[in-house]
Amino acid sequence: MISFRSLSERAISSHDQVARALGMEILAGKHAVGGNLPNEADLLARFQISRTVLREVLKTLSAKGLLAAKARVGTRVTQPVHWNFFDAEVLSWKVAIGLDDAFRRDMAEIRRLIEPRAAALAAERREEAAITAIRAALDRMRIVDQDAMRFAQADLDFHLAIGAASGNLLMRSIASVIETALAASFSPIAPREHPELHLETVAKHEAILDAIVAGDPAAASAAMLGVINDAAPRNEGAPDQQGMAL
């Protein structure tokens, strides 16, 4: 199971540490687009790693679209259009350095395209095991006496379960990356601190489940879009706005 902060809080190897450090520097603009990375000797001295590890790091970043190596030219930072933000690590690095308003809007737009359709497909297919997983997550969301992180994990699991219930592997993968990145980018609110907001949030998620159980794709899509739109002001550039759910 993907945990609420798993994209940014996990044990990592020296390879992963260096890839993360260089990747975040590239995303933050510390290495000019079109420019070369520091030479191999400088990178080896800085990170205190072997040449083999460094070369694997550069291969990893190249595979993610951040770098391109050319003979007699060196390893250069690619244009942002080539950066693969559907790669879970690249997106987690972006979250770690901070999401600007434009990027938050981009993620919200992707949610509007994917998640309502995922909910509709879940309603069309109505697989028992999938519905059980969605209901289990919603039941955990209903608990009033829990901390903010537990509630947020239940909320994340609810959305991930709907992605799985869609039965579409590509849709599930994309939704999972976006949802987990959003979860890692905001500070949730504990249900007991805002009981009315908690009840409202749970009710709106329950409407999604009810529509899926009823086999009503249009209602499931509309209910999911409503949840996304409720979160939009915070997720699209106003992170301090009060809100409880993704």
Domain boundaries along the sequence of the chain:
14-82, 100-235
- What is the per-residue pLDDT for 234? 63
* Calpha distance 36→124 (Å, rounded): 51
Q: Which residue has the tokens 């869609």?
A: 166
Question: Which CATH topology does 14-82 take?
Answer: Arc Repressor Mutant, subunit A (1.10.10)
Instruction: Name residues of the chain where pLDDT drops below 70.
Output: 1-12, 186, 234-244
Q: Which CATH architecture has domain 100-235?
A: Up-down Bundle (1.20)
* Calpha distance 154→4 (Å, rounded): 9
The pTM assigned to this predicted structure is 0.82
Label residues 171-201 b or e (16+ Cβ within 10 Å = b).
bbebbbbbbbbbbbbbebbbbeeeeeebeeb
Q: Which residue has the tokens 């420019």?
A: 35
Biggest CA–CA distance in the chain, Å, is 64
Beta bridge partners of 68: 76
- What is the per-residue pLDDT for 9? 43
Domains 14-82 and 100-235 in one fold: no
Other Cβ atoms closer than 10 A to 223? 23
Phi and psi angles of residue 54, each rounded to the nearest 5 degrees, phi first: -60, -45
